[in-house]
Amino acid sequence: MSGAEKRQSLPTLDVAEPLVSVTDVKHYVYCSRLVYFDRVLHAQPVFGSQQEESQELHVEYVRKELRRKDAVYYSPEFVGAEKLLFVPLVSKGLQLQGVVD
C-alpha cells in the first residue's frame, strides 16, 4: 500500500441511498458543506452551547408530550384522539424522506 492509499480511510457516500433527507435540504440551503461533512465524510458535529440547550429543551418537550394523554391537550375537540410522534414520512415522487416530531 502506498501512503496515499493508507490515508484514504474515510467512509464514502452510500450511493445506494435513493432518498434525500429533508434535514439535508435544510442544511444544504444554509451551508452546503454541512451535507458534505455529514453524508460524505460522516463527521460528527460539534455543538455550541445554544445548540446543546435547544436539544435539551426538545428532549424535555418530547418527554412531556409522551406523558400527556390526549393528542392536543388544549383543544376539547381532540379529546381521545391518537397522538403520533416521530412519524416517518416518505415521498417517492419528490425523493424525500423525513421524520415528523
Predicted confidence pLDDT, tens digits, the chain (101 residues): 555 544 544 444 455 567 888 888 998 999 888 889 888 888 888 878 888 899 899 999 888 888 877 666 667 777 777 778 888 999 888 888 998 87
Which string of b and e fits 31-42 if b means at least 16 CB within 10 Å? Answer: eeebbeebbeee
Enumerate the domain spans of the chain: 3-100
Q: Which cell goes with 83? A: 397522538
**Bridge partners of residue 17, in order along the sequence:** none
Reported pTM: 0.57
